[in-house]
Amino acid sequence: MPIPSDAHGRLTALREFGTDPGGLSADIYIPESFRKNGPLVVVLHGSTQSAESYDLGSGWSTLADECGIALLFPGQRKSNNALGSFNWFKSGDIQRGRGEPLSIFQMIKQVVDDHAVDPARIFITGMSSGGAMTSVMLATYPEVFAGGAIIAGLPYRSAGNLMEALVRMKGYGGPSDGTLEAFVRDASDFSGRWPTISVWHGGSDNTVDSSNADSIIRQWQNIHNVEGPPTRVEEVDGFPRRVWCDDMGRAVIEEYMITDMGHGTPISAEGTEGLGEAGKFMLEVGISSTRHIARFWGLTQ
């Protein structure tokens, strides 16, 4: 029987999921509303956070109840990183078939097998180091995901060690746009439909500079064949949203820049559609990234 892993009993520990070369933990939430061939969302916490605290702040399990979504929460261990950050910049943890990416892939496979998840509806999101690791997963295992959402994160392989990581977080230096694109293409042998990309960032983020959001978009634009200015710019809940659509009119990249917000996940906890709870790096700004990301992926009812 699954063992509740947090005080309010929302998540349960996934004990067995392969060789786990990255030494990660895993928690899941399978709501009563989940049905066979339902979707799965993988949620990656940020530094100093846990799966439980990120779920509480973001409201993912509440939305899962509403919409019948299975959730997987990979977790970092302090023995791997003193801040509890995913190691998105270490060579052994940013390649397909190795380290933390392989651990997360193994978790996903286990949940898909255990709960009859639709393999065509697997998505991934994360904030800060979890956002940067989302970039890693989208590049190294693109065939697994229909879409990804990167919150306050960085591009794939923008840094190769801790010193570079700290510099890139401040918005300095980094590989060229062409090199960033090549990194994604070279990370696997994938040749199918690439995952859609949702990018969220605070305009006043002093921890991970917002220039990283632009770099993520440029990393994926040519891959999706949507170079140049956005197809449309609109306002959603008072914030600018830029959207790039492919030749078929499908939105493949979107960006929300949350004006005056610092480092964290944007939430809207109030009202009938409120989700989550404000806290450290979970910022009440009147827009729910969780709800809008799920809507972008076609998961909301």
How would you label 39-73 residue by residue, b for 16+ Cβ within 10 Å and e otherwise? bbbbbbbbbebbbbbbbbbbbbbbbbebbbbbbbb
Amino acid letter, 228: G
Residues that are catalytic: 128
What angle is formed at CA 27 by the lines to CA 288 and CA 68, rounded to 5 degrees? 55
Rounded Cα distance between 226 and 56, Å, is 36
- Between the alpha carbon of residue 183 and those of residues 8, 49, 68, 177, 186, the distances in Å are 41, 28, 35, 10, 5
Rounded Cα distance between 116 and 124, Å, is 18
Strands (E), the chain: 12-13, 25-29, 40-44, 70-75, 122-127, 147-151, 196-202, 232-236, 239-245, 251-258, 265-267, 282-284
- Residue at token pair 């609109």: 234
- Between the alpha carbon of residue 41 and those of residues 32, 75, 149, 187, 284, the distances in Å are 16, 14, 10, 22, 22
